[in-house]
Structure 1
């Protein structure tokens, strides 16, 4: 029987945790990697385990989901309860949201089975519209995603982040909440039409859950990056200029 080769390391908040063959590396409120004393977080949420000659990341929770992506934004998986993915690339980032808080950590694979190549197809035309793959976003739609991700983009290292309420994000952009919600619906529908899961509205789909899923998707696919914070800084500069002239 073949056996998994290489070492799997989980990096969280500056600490490293190495997976050992034959013993699951547990991640959650308690376990080998203690994320946070958050009552919304499962005691045992994710596991890194060797099976059948491969290392796997498995969601052993009952309600929470996780978004898993490579560092280049070329691969993304949505890990539902009971689902698992093989850790076959050299580096992954895992995002998940428990209650009001979003977390992320990295998984390093020292001898990956595959190597990702190429780059994400992101273009911005003269009108300011941003195209990623088959989806095109208007400047306002891009601003909305940056505002939702701002708290996580401005961190100096991997640590818990807060996703703003719709009211706070709207105020950050100088919009009415009705405008924000309308544009949020449009962004989620565009991505859902392109095949992104977890963004549909309807019964049982709370606004906070959709926003969390949107933030995880935008960060994992590099729809927004730290460089996009300049868009919000420009709003701050305009507000300051406006105050100076009043």
Structure 2
């Protein structure tokens, strides 16, 4: 498939089924069942106008104009690892490079590719750079070895492979035993250890008071999904 050439400042929106459009700075586009960019034409649960992509002073924004559906903005660029939730009425800046807007009705899951073209990179210095070496080191630096990364990747795999799926697709302990070739005891021990490690590193949601073993497994899966591209590079 040949994609149009993008110039700095432009944005490409692609529904992956043959419909795509390039916007120039200053332009705006709505997406939905009865919008500029059609989505879910035969899906009655799709909002007539759901998302709007627009430019403000050189920054591409996305707004949820729906009333009940949320979207997940998932960066796909090489150096972007986190995702953002876009609830009804909310607006977010779109990341540079390629990302995906993922959302679902009871009929199906949608994934729209969005590419923001830019050649700019963050500056290496700047105000305050000279003070970094004087500040205390950040508490809770997290360095994982391969045996710690492997279960995180396995937990996140179905969520990354099928964006928009819910936590019911997270591998069970038995699934992890088969995927990793580990015993049940080793899988459970590793889940407990990783949860404690992340909690001690300041990652929210992993305190000792938070839930039972299944809850820790699901929380680890969500963390791994949000950090999946970073985990792929870590070992």
**TM-score interval w.r.t. the shorter chain?**
0.5 to 0.7
Structure 2 equivalent of residue 124 of structure 1: none
- Is the contact made by 1:66 and 1:96 (CA closer than 8 Å) also made in structure 2? yes
The structure whose residues are more often strand, as a share, is: 1
- Is the contact made by 1:25 and 1:48 (CA closer than 8 Å) also made in structure 2? yes
TM-score by length of structure 1 reads 0.53
Structure 2 equivalent of residue 25 of structure 1: 31
- Is the contact made by 1:134 and 1:194 (CA closer than 8 Å) also made in structure 2? yes
Count of equivalent residues:
196
Indicate which of 214, 220, 240 corresponds to 2:223: 214
TM-score by length of structure 2 reads 0.55
- Is the contact made by 2:98 and 2:114 (CA closer than 8 Å) also made in structure 1? yes
- Give CA deviations for 1:19-45 in whole Å, capped at 9, x if unaligned: 764442249xxx8345xx8xxxx8459
Structure 2 equivalent of residue 55 of structure 1: 60
Paired with 1:80 and 1:198, the residues of 2 have a C-alpha distance of 20
Root-mean-square deviation over aligned CA pairs: 5.0
Q: Which runs of 5+ in 2 are unaligned?
A: 1-7, 125-139
Pairwise mapping of residues 1-246 of structure 1 onto structure 2 (< 5 A)? 6-13=9-16, 15-18=18-21, 21-26=27-32, 32-34=38-40, 43=46, 47-50=51-54, 52-53=56-57, 54-58=59-63, 66=72, 68-69=74-75, 71-74=77-80, 76-79=82-85, 81-82=87-88, 83-93=90-100, 106-110=113-117, 112=118, 114-115=120-121, 134-151=141-158, 163-191=170-198, 193-194=200-201, 196=203, 201-202=210-211, 206=215, 209-219=218-228, 221-224=229-232
Q: Which runs of 5+ in 1 are unaligned?
A: 119-132, 229-246
| Change over 3 Å in CA distance of 1:32–1:165 after alignment to 2 | farther
The Cα of 1:52 is off from its aligned counterpart by: 3.8
Paired with 2:69 and 2:190, the residues of 1 have a C-alpha distance of 28
Q: Which has the larger radius of gyration?
A: 2
- Is the contact made by 1:71 and 1:93 (CA closer than 8 Å) also made in structure 2? no
